[in-house]
């Protein structure tokens, strides 16, 4: 179970981002159909999607660039996209409807609450955490999403042999995550202990990553398996 400190310190700040009329309409029209809340517990993922299929969790889905592309390319998988910012959820819902995708559900809540209350133990086949907030100032490092308590909770929700994929362009956070994951019981670094992984060829180049490349940022990938 996650630790008390992680429950008290949020890994995000809700900013009053502008919601476009189209995003608002998508939220009003489609969130009830494609959205989940942790009030829905206990959750049977197979019941939610109406089938037995591999379950993929994306943490911090943003506007859904990865989720929409992955769900389109892999209709055999079911995707649970967690995002706290409503404009992103609105854009993701627009994409789901436009592409007529039945294999995505969205959650507009804190991922720790989602993992604690909504996602059952040993239910996830893959977990994606792409470009989490780096909180670069040292006094804010306690807000970083990935810590030992979070990894313990996450590992409990992953199936045996499930995969965890992480990408960041913040070097000191990448080193921190590498150390945390290498030291986490049950997680195995598939690139070798102390090593970053090659960039997965299937990971889409998002606008965020493109901007980082233009600024000369190096992207660090990590891939772990649950023993």
What domains does the chain contain, in order, with CATH numbers? 4-226 (3.40.50.150)
User: Does position 34 have pLDDT exceeding 90, yes or no?
Assistant: yes
State residue 77's pLDDT score. 99
Question: Residue 115: left if φ>0, alpha if ψ -120 to 50, beta else—which one?
Answer: alpha
Predicted pLDDT of residue 181? 98
The structure tokens 């998002």 sit at 206
Average pLDDT value for residue range 187-201: 98
Q: What is the signed CA dihedral for 55, 89, 47, 72, rounded to 10 degrees?
A: -50
Q: Which helix (H) or strand (E) holds 59?
A: strand 55-59
Asked if residue 8 has pLDDT above 60, the reply is no
Residue 92's pLDDT is 98
Q: What's the pLDDT at 42? A: 64
Q: How far apart are the C-alpha atoms of 72 and 96, rounded to whole Å?
A: 9
Q: Token pair of 182, please?
A: 């290498």
- In this predicted structure, the answer to whether residue 10 has a pLDDT above a threshold of 60 is no
Q: Please compute, for residue 66, the number of CA atoms within 13 A of its CA located in the half-sphere on the CB side.
A: 29
110, 125, 133, 182: the active-site residue: 133
What is the longest distance spanned by two Cα atoms in the chain? 48
Is residue 133 part of the annotated active site? The answer reads yes
């Amino acid at each position: 179970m996650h630790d008390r400190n992680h429950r008290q310190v949020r890994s995000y700040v809700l900013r009053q981002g502008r919601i476009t009329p189209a995003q608002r309409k998508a939220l009003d029209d489609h969130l009830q159909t494609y959205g989940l809340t942790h009030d829905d517990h206990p959750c049977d993922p197979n019941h939610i999607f109406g089938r037995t299929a591999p379950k993929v969790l994306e943490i911090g889905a943003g506007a859904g660039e990865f989720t929409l592309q992955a769900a389109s390319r892999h209709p055999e998988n079911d995707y649970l996209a967690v995002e706290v910012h409503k404009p992103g959820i609105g854009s993701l819902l627009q994409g789901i409807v436009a592409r007529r995708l039945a294999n995505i559900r969205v959650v507009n809540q804190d991922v720790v609450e989602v993992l604690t209350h909504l996602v059952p133990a040993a239910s996830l086949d893959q977990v994606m955490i792409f470009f989490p907030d780096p909180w670069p100032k040292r006094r804010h490092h306690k807000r970083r999403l990935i810590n030992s308590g979070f990894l313990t909770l996450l590992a409990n929700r992953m199936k045996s042999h499930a995969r965890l994929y992480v990408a960041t362009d913040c070097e000191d956070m990448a080193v921190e995550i590498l150390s945390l994951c290498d030291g986490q019981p049950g997680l195995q670094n598939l690139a070798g202990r102390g090593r970053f992984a090659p960039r997965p060829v299937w990971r889409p180049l998002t606008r965020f990553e493109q901007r980082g490349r233009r600024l000369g940022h190096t992207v660090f990938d990590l891939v772990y398996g649950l023993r």
